[in-house]
Structure 1
Amino acid sequence: MTRPYTVSARITTTDAVGITPTTGPTTGPDLFTVTVYMNTHRDNFDGYQPGHPLAAATHPDGTPLRLVFNASTRIHDHEAAASATFTVGNHVQADDHGQTWPDDIRPVSVGDVIKITTPGHWIIHLQLDPVGFTPVPEPTDLTALAGTSATSRL
């Protein structure tokens, strides 16, 4: 089985660095920032396929829900950040800035895509597999940011 080509990119934008009211800094020299794209395809539990529609998990006001993890011996690479995201997204613990997964958004599950911005501003997208993660190209079928009430029905 061949894997699809993946692309990593270093993107420096003015909106990549900021402060949000609930999480503090959204990126920095020692932070992994994560956005979860919920797979909204009817067969989402069969895994993500390019072309499946995805909706970003958001706060009630429509701003993206970003999880933030400090680079450490526990979170030392993108896969460790993805694993920590799965833990937070299944209501087990909070991210490193105290943010928990909202109760009205379904848990992170197989078929979802996790976007990780590393401390060096490299961006990688990982699909959640039944066991582990697989790099995927940047998704192109993103729906409008879904508020928590819309995402809870996913």
Structure 2
Amino acid sequence: MTTAVTRPLTVTARITTPDTAPTPTTPAAYTATVYVNTAHHSFDGYQPHHPLAAATRTDGSPLRLVFHASDRIRDHEDAADAAFEVGNRQDADDNGQTWPADIRSVSVGDVIKVTGPDHWIVHLSVDHTGFTPVHEPTHLTDLAGSRASSRR
């Protein structure tokens, strides 16, 4: 003989706590900030006494170019090279940012600051062929007076 038994409904749920929550994987990224050399006749290369101005968006906010680590972007110099391409209106960064129309192209004598996923910061001067590591620039000026300038 069988007897019907009524059982209470049970629900099994996975409760995610902060200790067990899956962490979102953000691809490692390099951030590049271009410092435009505002010294007259600076196409011979960057010198520590040259005044530099950080490239900004048209609203005045800092322009930070982002490049995700990949087969193309493996180190600080690759990120600087990608920033150079964006700064010469040949490409966009990985967030779709392009170079502002009212800032001259990136040229010899400018400095590119690259922060890597390892939090190392490297300053690289743009040379005729490649880049050279330099100390952090100390003569920073406002780009407002230099926007759209190609007088150098």
Q: TM-score, normalised by structure 1?
A: 0.77
Q: Which amino acid in structure 1 is aligned with residue 106 of structure 2? A: V
- 2:71 alignment partner, SS class: coil
2:147 equivalent to 1:151 = yes
- 1:124 alignment partner, SS class: strand
CA distance in 1, matches of 2:49, 2:147: 19
Gap runs ≥5 in structure 2: 1-25
Gap runs ≥5 in structure 1: 1-27
1:11 maps to: none
Structure having greater relative contact order (Cα 8 Å, sep ≥ 6):
1
Runs of 4 or more, structure 1, over 6 Å off, are none
**How many equivalent residue pairs?**
125
Computing the radius of gyration over CA atoms, which structure comes out larger, 1 or 2?
A: 2
Where does 1:81-120 land on structure 2 (aligned, <5 Å)?
81-120=79-118
The percent identity for this pair of structures is: 63
Asked if the contact 1:29/1:120 (under 8 Å) is kept, the reply is no
Deviation at 1:68, TM superposition (A): 0.3
Q: TM-score, normalised by structure 2?
A: 0.78
Q: 1:127 aligns with which of 122, 125, 128?
A: 125
Deviation at 1:82, TM superposition (A): 0.7
2:135 maps to: 137
CA distance in 1, matches of 2:67, 2:90: 15
Alpha-carbon RMSD across the aligned residues, in angstroms, is 1.4
Map Cα deviations across residues 17-47 of structure 1 (whole Å, 9 max, x no partner).
xxxxxxxxxxx76010000000001121010
CA distance in 2, matches of 1:130, 1:90: 14
